[in-house]
A and B are shown apart, each in its own frame.
Chain A
Amino acid sequence: MSVDADDLVKVGPASEFDDGDAEIIEVGRAEVGVVRADGEFYAIRNQCPHDGGPVCKGNVQKELVGEFTGTGQRVEQQYSDTDIISCPWHGWSFELETGIHIGDDRIQVPTYEVVVEDEIVYVHTGD
């Protein structure tokens, strides 16, 4: 990982995160949530584009998807591998990796690169 240390904001030890945990930090003037899901770290702006709610205080789940398998058949529903986080105010849900709303890809919450070095989690400011 070749990032300038000046562009990193320290979050804390990776060992202190369990899956589903989120830590809210300041990146510049923005609140950013650092979230662990399936052992991976993600960072996403803690502001829902819908009504300004604290996205990162919401639940992390797998996205429920459906598939049309044939005329007259029930839509086959299953939880996919995609991790999503849902704003607790109204349920707007976003892919953790991309910040894209799961129902409309024109809506996106800013995401940030996460760096783990020496077991310490950092968020890259993007500057």
Chain B
Amino acid sequence: MIDAAEETVIDCDWHYQDSFKEVAEYMPEPWYTKYKRSNWDDAGVKQNLSSFFPTSTGDRQNYGKVLREHSNYPDAPEEPERVTEGMDFLDIDISLQISHLILAMGGVTADDERVQAFTRGYIEYMLEEVLDPDEGVYGLAPMPYGDVEASLDILERVEDEEAYVGACFVTAGASPPLGNRKYDPIYERCEQLDMPVVYHTGGSGLDEYVRAGYQEMIETHTLGFLESNMSQIVSVACQGVPEKYPDLDIVFMESGVTYIPGLVSRLDEEYLKRPEEAPLLDTRPSEYITDFYFGTQPLEVSARNDLLDLCFDMIGTDRLLYASDYPHWDFDSPSIINELPMLDDDDRRAILGGNAIEVFGV
């Protein structure tokens, strides 16, 4: 086992607890004024019975059981200095910040402006207040992918900003799914900019805007995170995004690793029976999908070791990226990786930091 504190550890998924109130200061008009006059609160949910973004099932903190010492989450907006405090706590050298609030964007059907306004405001807010490459705090730019032009505007805004090292697509609720040619211009631009595309599962996964009726978060969170990522993995692979943009780095975040072998095995079976329906692929979808990168969190450490070993073998330890998800309720510390008995020290170093250096150039 290595001493992780002495190694470079890069956390590819830290959630900055942004607040609508603070981001609104950077939103374009008319949303800047609308927000201030709407009585929406920090979380954007007050204003009587409506909310800025949809809400999701369950209580993240499990009704008072989960506490965070090094973050204001979930009780108050984050303070930027608490990010480096948390990184010190976890012995993390570099973190990639992903918006907390954007995770519910897939359910926005109220208008075609608020996601765009939020992402524009978020980009400026994070640049101004939070991101600091000198301190190892980088960010992923959220894509309002429903609006391709707005997404290209975001990419143009961040392309010369050292602090932004990737584009983030929330996978929950994307319609049409993210392999659709509609999104080609975003992928093309990301490839040109050498900017990885990070697909991040979202919401509780199976929220009312994806599939209504589940009762508890244990149900929606278990199923939904997988479903959201799986639906986009299948779409992106079958529609040939990796063939169209072969130099594009593709990352899927926050669904653990055990779903990958099951998904690709099933998809390969389908493909061998009907390959003409994925006409851009030269070989099995699994060959493309295992070239994607995967965030490890929440790693299924209670699973049988031989299952995890199989997962790592199928995906490849050169394709796994340590991710904490801090300060969310099910975060992983670096020791989750370091203590895995089936990894050698080179694998541990690669997953904890080396692979992220390759992908994100941080």
Q: Report the minimum CB–CB distance from A9 to chain B (whole Å).
A: 30
| Contact between A68 and B284, CB atoms less than 8 A apart | no
B276 at the interface (CB under 8 A from A): yes
| Cα of A75 to Cα of B241 in the assembled complex, Å | 11
The number of chain A residues touching the other chain, given as a range, is 20 to 34
12 A/B residue pairs, CB under 8 Å, sorted by A: A68-B244, A71-B187, A72-B181, A72-B184, A72-B185, A92-B272, A92-B273, A93-B275, A101-B272, A103-B272, A103-B275, A104-B275
Asked if residues B272 and A72 are in contact (CB atoms below 8 Å), the reply is no
Cα–Cα, bound, A90→B272 (Å): 9
Instruction: Name the contact of A77 in the complex, choosing from B185, B274, B279 (C-beta under 8 A).
Output: B279
Within the complex, the shortest CB–CB distance from B145 to chain A, in Å, comes to 14
The reply on B313 being an interface residue by CB < 8 A is no
A71 in contact with B276 (CB, 8 Å): no
Q: Which residues of A contact B (CB under 8 A)?
A: 50, 63-68, 71-75, 77, 90-93, 101-105, 107
Which residue of A is nearest B274, CB measured?
A91
- Within the complex, the shortest CB–CB distance from B21 to chain A, in Å, comes to 37
Q: Closest CB of chain B to A88's CB: distance in Å?
A: 12
Min CB distance B183 to A, Å, is 9
Excluding A68-B280, A105-B283, A107-B272, 16 further A-B contacts by CB distance (< 8 Å) are A50-B272, A63-B276, A65-B279, A66-B280, A75-B181, A75-B239, A91-B274, A92-B272, A92-B273, A93-B276, A101-B272, A101-B275, A103-B271, A103-B275, A103-B284, A104-B275
* CB of B165 closer than 8 Å to a CB of A: no
Contacts of B188 in A (CB 8 A): 71
Q: Chain B residues near A92: list those with CB within 8 A.
A: 272-273
Question: Given the complex, which residues of A lie within 8 Å of B272, measured CB to CB?
Answer: 50, 92, 101, 103-104, 107
Nearest chain B residue, comparing its CB with the CB of A66? B279
B residues whose Cβ falls under 8 Å from a Cβ of A: 181-182, 184-185, 187-188, 239-240, 243-244, 271-276, 278-281, 283-284
- By beta carbon, the residue of chain A nearest B268 is A104
The distance in angstroms between the C-alpha atoms of A72 and B152, with both chains bound, is 14
CA distance A105 to B281 in the complex (A): 12
Query: What's the least CB distance linking A23 to chain B, in Å?
Result: 26
Q: In the complex, A63→B275 CA distance in Å?
A: 10
A89: nearest residue on chain B (CB-CB)? B273
Contact yes or no, B281 A103, CB < 8 A: yes
- Top 9 A-B pairs, shortest CB-CB distance: A66-B279, A103-B275, A64-B276, A71-B184, A72-B184, A71-B188, A91-B273, A90-B273, A68-B244
A123 to B155, CA, bound (A): 62
Question: Shortest beta-carbon distance, B53 to chain A, in Å?
Answer: 28
Cα-based distance from A91 to B182 in the complex (angstroms): 30
A63 to B276, alpha carbons, bound, how many Å?
Answer: 8
Query: Distance (Å) between the CB of A57 and the closest chain B CB?
Result: 17
Cα of A63 to Cα of B279 in the assembled complex, Å: 10
Q: Give CA–CA (A107, B274) in the complex, Å.
A: 15
Verify A71–B185 contact, CB threshold 8 A: yes
Which B residues are CB-close (under 8 A) to A103?
A: 271-272, 275, 278, 281, 283-284
Which A residues are CB-close (under 8 A) to B278? 103
With a CB–CB cut-off of 8 A, which chain B residues contact A71?
Answer: 184-185, 187-188, 244
Cα distance A69–B278 in the bound complex, in angstroms: 15
What is the distance, in angstroms, from B324's C-beta to the closest C-beta of chain A? 35
Once bound together, how far apart are the Cα atoms of A50 and B273, in whole Å? 10
Partner among A64, A68, A101, A105 whose Cβ is within 8 Å of the Cβ of B240: A68
Q: How far apart are the CA atoms of A71 and B248 in the complex, in Å? A: 14
The answer to whether B283 and A74 have CB atoms under 8 Å apart is no
Q: B239 contacts which chain A residues (CB < 8 A)?
A: 75
Whether the Cβ atoms of B283 and A104 lie closer than 8 Å is: yes
Interface centre among A77, A91, A103, A107 (most CB of B within 10 A): A103
What chain B residues lie within 8 Å of A90 (beta carbons)?
273
Contacts of B187 in A (CB 8 A): 71
Q: B271, B279, B283, B284: which has the most chain A beta carbons within 10 Å?
A: B279
Contacts of B240 in A (CB 8 A): 66, 68, 75
